Structure 1
Amino acid sequence: MAKKAVALKSQLVHIKALGAGNSALSKAQREFNRLTKRIAQAEKDVTAYRAAATLMRQRVQNEYRPLQARHNAARADLVRQLDHAHDHYKLTKGERHKIVDMIGSACYDLLERGHPELQPIMDKHAPPLTAQEEAEADREISEAMKALFSERFGIDFDPAVDVSTQAKFQAYVAQQMAQQQDRQAQEEAQATERRAKRKKSPKQQAAEDQKQAEEKNITKSVRALYMDLVKALHPDREPDEAEKLRKTELLKQVTTAYQANELLTLLRLQLELQRIDQSHLENLAEDQLRYYNKLLKEQARELDEALYQEQMDWSGFTGKPYFFTSTPAAMEYDYQSQFQLINLKIRSLEAEVLAFGHDPAALKMFLKTYRIPKPGVGPLFG
């Protein structure tokens, strides 16, 4: 949906009932009021969410990223302390095995998070794989990826094709996906051609003619509003320089709204500029209201999609499902929870490093509670 260049006033576009309650309004008038109210709320929701997401990104950068760096620094200190304890404390074979697992599994990501100096420690406790082990690991990964792409995308892997490396695998998948897309495009083109050749029944033809006529009338209705506003706002006829600039900006907004089929925006401007009044809305013909309501439904749908896209963008930023942070309030709650959690982790890690460095018994007590994850569970992040 097109973004507006200039903020509008909160102009109410609403058909008032002449009698008591909504019963005095026709069905189309009630639908018009419902849609304009829904659009007004959706516009507020999109604007509020977009502003909250922008502010939250700034807070993450300025407040949370430094905490992440401090958290990783505390984890790096823990690795150094565990390495020292492994070599110098009197520990059992099982306790040393747990330390090796913690360093290799729970903290391997630190090398890519600003602590490459830990590489010698990692190599000491988790020596590089042999050529045979690497080949076996590559084979297992390749088989797992084959199964995944076969299930999700229906790709058949030819046993004779070499997909042993990541580059070869990606090239083969890309080729198969391209062939699938070509086949689908051909099938769609053939189906479209068959539908075009198929003779329509009188009922189908009448429905299609009616649809085309309605679309034509909708286009005329929006264009009529647009042309009326263009005449009223044409800056070349304005002698006052300040007023000329104002009208120029408003005209840009009118053009943007017209190109996006934003009927409600055009009606708001007409009311704001006194091109129409309340009686004009109340006396709209039923046919005209029907055309307006179709456009308003489309505008409401586009706003819903715009809000969903904002939520998905934030979901991509956080890595959480969009429904976890579907409102600015939920976004703030999630941020505060993460902020408190990482502070708690930092304090706990710093206390552990201090305790383990002065009291081997504290480390032994900690190792008693540590359980080595079973194969397949995945990495344990400290």
Structure 2
Amino acid sequence: MAKKTAATASQLVHIQAPGMVGSSLSKAQKEFNRLTKRIQKLEQDVADFRAAADRLRQRVQTEYRPLQTQHNDQRAALVRHLDRAHDTYKLTKTERAKIVDLIVQGCHDLPDRGYTDLQPILDKYAPPLSEEAGAEADLQISEMMKQLYTQQFGIEFDPAVDVSTKEKFGVYVEQKLAEQEAEYVRQEEEQAARRAQRKKSPKQQAAEAKKQAEEKNITKSVRTLYMDLVKALHPDREPDEAEKARKTVLLQKVTAAYEANELLTLLRLQLELQHIDQSHLENLAEDQLSYYNKLLREQARELDQAMYEEQLNVSDFSGQPYYMLSTAAALDYDYQRQKLLLEAKIRQLAANVLAFEHDPAALKAFLKAYRIPKAGPGALFRPL
């Protein structure tokens, strides 16, 4: 479905209950009202979420990225001071081990972030792996990835195939996934051919004919609305230039709604132009309402899908699960929370660096409270 920006105060298309005593809305009328109300809410939710996502991306670039740079500056300053302290301060063996852990495990990413002067310090405490050790590490990672892809995608790895490097592994996986996709398409085509060859029962034929008739009537219903609006809005028939420009914009909206099968948008425009009124909606035949409700259900499903795709886009950008940031309010709240946490980290690091430079006792107190994480499953990356 094409992206659309919902009007913030779009007219609610609603069938009012009859005024006569003892009368009420039919089941189809109630469904129509429920769907139009739900679609209006979904349109607003999608529009609000997109606006919040745009704000998030802008604030990350203008506010958060500079804070990340400040954070990394403080981390780099800490590494330099810890290195000097390791060589010059009177420290115990345990304290020196903690300094090594803080440098190697907590700040190993800094050279890749532009702090290349720290690489000799990191190499000093964690010398580069030998060729044999590096090959062994690559092999272990390869085995782990093989298990993961076998479980997730059902890929069976040929023992004779060399997937010991990231590049070789990627080529092999892409080949296997392509083979799986080709096999899936082949099976689907075979099943479709078998279904086409089967003789349909009278009941199946009647159901198919009914479905085709309904789809035809639905298409006809939408086209009737569309043509009515096109006739009313055709700008070539308007002598006034200002009104002609207004009708041109409205006609573009009508055409976009028609091409997207957005029945509710067409109905709103009809109400706005006073081409239908409430009595028209209240007197719609049940079969006509049935066609309308099917279109409205499809429009609601498309809006649900649009929201899900927006959430996935933000998830890709933020690195957080999409269900953690499912609303505009959640986006704004989470950004503010992350920003406050990062600012607190910067202040704490700056205070530590200043204290450690002027008071070895402050460093010793910090190292006494610090605990080296135990080996085993856990965070692969734990920056300070």
* Pairwise TM-score range, normalised by the shorter structure: over 0.9
Q: Which runs of 4+ in 1 moved over 4 A?
A: 4-9, 20-23
Cα distance, 1:91 vs. partner?
1.2
Matched, 1:381 2:377: no
TM-score normalised by length of structure 1:
0.96
State how 1:175-190 maps to structure 2 within 5 Å.
175-190=175-190
Q: Secondary structure at the match of 1:341?
A: helix
Please list, as runs of the form range in 1=range in 2, the aligned pairs for 1:17-56 lying within 5 A after superposition.
Answer: 17-19=17-19, 24-56=24-56
Partner residue, 2:242: 242
1:302 aligns with 2:271: no
User: 1:45 offset after TM fit, Å?
Assistant: 0.8
Displacement, 1:20? 6.6
Write out aligned runs for 1:193-272 (5 A). 193-272=193-272
Measured in 1, the distance between the counterparts of 2:135 and 2:225 equals 69
Cα shift at 1:205: 1.3
User: Which one-letter code corresponds to 2:278 in the other structure?
Assistant: Q
| Aligned mates of 2:307, 2:76 — CA distance in 1 | 40
Task: Specify whether residues 66 and 8 from structure 1 end up closer, same or farther in structure 2 by C-alpha distance, changes over 3 A only.
Answer: closer
Per-residue CA deviation, residues 30-71 of structure 1 (Å, 9 max, x unaligned), is 111111111111111111111111112212211111111111
> Residues 147-201 of structure 1, C-alpha deviation per residue, up to 9 Å, x if partnerless?
1111111111111111122211111111111111111111111111111111222
Partners of 2:214 and 2:291 within 8 A in 1: yes
| RMSD (CA atoms) | 1.7
Distance 1:81 1:256 in 2: 62
CA displacement at 1:231 relative to structure 2: 0.7
Question: 1:1-382, aligned counterparts within 5 Å?
Answer: 1-4=1-4, 7=7, 10-19=10-19, 24-376=24-376, 377=378, 378-382=380-384
With over 3 angstroms needed to count, the CA separation of the structure-2 counterparts of 1:260 and 1:21, relative to structure 1, is: farther
Structure 1, gaps ≥5 residues long: none
> How many residue pairs align between the two structures?
382
- Paired with 1:162 and 1:22, the residues of 2 have a C-alpha distance of 79
Q: Please state whether the residue corresponding to 1:363 is helix, strand or coil.
A: helix
Distance in structure 2 (CA, Å) of the matches to 1:252 and 1:125: 66
- Asked whether the 8 Å contact 1:263–1:292 carries over to 2, the reply is yes
8 Å contact from structure 2 (residues 311, 325) kept in 1: yes
What is the identity, as a one-letter code, of the residue corresponding to 2:310?
E
Q: Relative to structure 2, which stretch is displaced further, 265-274 or 90-99?
A: 90-99
Q: Deviations over 1:274-300 (max 9, x none)?
A: 111111111111110000000001111
In 2, Cα distance between the equivalents of 1:358 and 1:23?
85
- 1:298-340 deviations in Å (ceiling 9; x for gaps): 1111111111221221122111122222222222221221111
- Looking at structure 2, the residues matched to 252 and 111 of structure 1 have their Cα atoms a distance apart, in angstroms, of 53
How far apart, in 2, do the equivalents of 1:54 and 1:217 lie? Answer: 40
- Structure 1 pair 173/288, CA: closer, same or farther in 2 (3 Å)? same
